[in-house]
Amino acid sequence: MEIKIIGNLTPEVGIAEKYTVEKVLEAFDTEPLTLIPEYTDAEITWSIYVLDANVWRLAKGREQKGKSVEYKFSEISLKFKDIAMIVEAYGKETMIHIKPQPTSQPKITFIELLDENKKTPKKSFTYGNWIIARVHCVGMELRPIVVTLVENDGDKHKLNTKNLKIDTQKKFVKRGFADIKFYLDPMHANLANSKADKGESDEGKFHEYYVTAEIAGKEESRRATLDTHVANPDYVEKKLVVSPTIGFPVREVINSLMMVDMTPQTWWPFKEENCGGKYCIKKGDKNELIREINIRLAGFGGNVPTDEFTERTERMIKQFQRDYMKVPETGRICGNVLNAIDEFQRKYIIHFDDIKCKCKKCKGFGNELYKSVYKRNKPKKEAFHDYEYPGIHRSLVWLIRSIMFYTSVIEKDLGYELKCIFSGYRCWEDNKFNGRSSTNHMGKALDIHFSKNDKKVYKLNQIEEIRDKIILPYTNAQIRWEDIDLFSVEPSRKSYPKEFIATTWIHIDVREFASKYLENIFFVKTIEEINGKNIVELAKQLGFNDTCKCDFNNSNPFNLFKIINRYKENHFTIEDAELSLKKINKKYGKEMARNIEMMYRWECEHFNSGQYKSCGSPGMEVSEGAKGPEYGWNGDLYEKYPEYTPIGLWSEFENKGKSGLGGNTQITDRKKKYIVFPSVDAGMHYVAEFILRHNGNIGRWHSLYDKDVQNNYIRDINSTIPRISNKF
């Protein structure tokens, strides 16, 4: 028996690649081939050696353990004459040679914060320390980057943040990275505390700082670190005192005349003192209950389904305690937290059927086709993985619940509601029908619609407000797919005008989760599997009876009971046409409004056809084999007005129409596909731009070149009466 390494021999720098060790039986081996090793993962070791100045040396800090590992090679790896990857497993050793390839896209890959000795800090920074921000890049050799130290005051994810910028420096990248040194001046503490909330003497026990880096002149390339906590020297110690009226601890500022507002109705009772934290689950612990909580609270700051209580888990718990429970933040799991998670599930209800595939050929979640199959001539990355996962990822659905909460409670003054899950699972049959090839929606993505004042949101500025003020700040999702283990949202055309991305909806996915968090076990097909067991009962089954005792079983009435409405197909009416024609009249003039109304009346049976009600357009058929969003039509309008971008396709047998009377021949042996617009407004604007593009020749709508057909069409539509437009 021998072993071999499976993985990419020519990885692109800055891209994480997976490498796996496998057994290989030789001709005379009698040992059966098995995927279950005699060795544990901890006994399988990997290391990297580089040939530098004709001397082989071990790349320190690159050792890993496990049957499968991920490696990301930096820009500096291009300088070595050779790179060897060695694995020791099952009593054998083998090696492969790696030749990293330069990237075609310059970018900042990640930023790490080091102490003044350029080492990973072993304790928190304090005022008077130096912070070194090491910015790692690919494709950026000898190019400048701009790096800024920022004090976080709440709008970190905005490009035009109002957070306090402490220092900004420009540095040139050398050997794949640049080091920038920042001094934590004690005077900065006064600046931070000057922004304390009314009634508070300071900003809390810690100040939060982070570092941003961007390619000089390219603001959209900006990347940011997680917050680093710096002790606030002016912090006033707080303690817990017992309120005689409600019988549980209430927070009070020592020597202060003003108590923090903690009425019985706005806070979960806080009762950690009964065990003194002895039975609380905390950072450093590891068990399956932690994995379940990391799934269910993933939307509170973002997390992956690990069984480890990490720093991310601690921040997640604190955010849940602060925002949902309204209790002092401990970052530990007690009975109160468990009970609040169960209530969180009960209060935010999702119609699971809307997540299922709409193709009517699979059973809702594909057929598990193409596992480990990747698109031809593409790297073996999840973005090109053709696999139909066996369900929807649990973390995604729990994330939707948190968005419901933040929309309806914390940011209720914005006036938005999560309207429905517009698109969930999309199998290969559904892709084939819609002319798509993307695989994000094969269990890893959801598209959600919002409403405001009971009307669907489809304006770009509203979608961006939802994304920038709710999704990004509270879920810590990233725009696009740069970093691993984060939720990702699609950007708007305002930032990426050439991409087919979310325009009238929010797309969010788990594509960049590490492969171990995309195992089949995390994908499910029923709401019961999404919800899992009652978390309190699960904790008791796993032996955490004492943890569950710290529990008052009270509810916070300010966390509203919310249900996502069932998704409904478009059902456009003549009232939609009236509103849209008024806009056309105001923008393009009365003659244009009359012509468009006559076209719609002729094509759409006076706004009564199924095609009009479902699509909002006067019969825009999909060209054979054409891809979205244009589907064979001109797409200039969608770049100019992203909110008008089509949202899908609809199929039906076509009516006889003008067949046999100078029109196109009726097709009777198959359904035709038609473009679905988000609104009648979008459809009518498309027609207006079409008419302008063809110098007012309305006949071009019915035939590209045949003048007789064009003239017949103009005569026919002129036989209808534009009753709505005539009133303008």
Residue 489: strand, helix, or coil: strand
Cβ atoms 461, 455 nearer than 8 A = no
Predicted confidence at residue 598, as pLDDT, reads 93
Would you give the end-to-end CA distance of the chain in angstroms? 85
Binned at pLDDT 50, 70 and 90, residue 678 comes out as confident
Predicted confidence at residue 495, as pLDDT, reads 56
Half-sphere exposure (Cβ direction) of 313: Cα atoms closer than 13 Å: 25
Q: What is the pLDDT of residues 490-549, one digit of tens each?
A: 886 555 555 556 778 899 999 999 999 999 999 999 888 998 888 988 989 898 887 766
What is this structure's pTM?
0.53
Q: What is the pLDDT of residues 67-123, one digit of tens each?
A: 999 998 888 888 888 999 999 988 888 999 999 998 878 889 889 999 998 998 888
Enumerate residues 6+ apart whose C-beta is below 8 A from 476. 301, 302, 486, 487
Query: Which of 3.30.1300.10, 3.40.50.2300, 2.60.40.1930, 2.60.40.10 is the CATH number of 107-231?
Result: 2.60.40.1930
Q: What is the pLDDT of residues 332-359, one digit of tens each?
A: 998 889 989 988 888 887 878 889 998 8
Query: Which of 2.60.40.2700, 3.40.50.20, 3.40.50.720, 2.70.98.10 is the CATH number of 2-98?
Result: 2.60.40.2700
> For a pLDDT cut of 70, what percent of the chain falls above it?
83
Q: What's the mean pLDDT when you consider all of the chain? A: 82
669's tokens: 């042996």
330's tokens: 């401990």
C-alpha distance from residue 554 to each of 151, 329, 405, 557 (Å): 36, 17, 18, 9
Predicted confidence at residue 94, as pLDDT, reads 92
- How far apart CA 129 and CA 146 sit, in angstroms, is 21
Say if 2-98 and 107-231 have the same CATH topology: yes
Q: What is the pLDDT of residues 445-489, one digit of tens each?
A: 999 988 888 777 878 888 889 998 999 999 999 988 989 999 999
Greater model confidence, 249 or 694: 694
Domain boundaries, the chain: 2-98, 107-231, 267-568, 574-727
Q: What is the pLDDT of residues 17-51, one digit of tens each?
A: 999 999 886 655 544 444 444 567 778 999 999 99
Binned at pLDDT 50, 70 and 90, residue 551 comes out as low
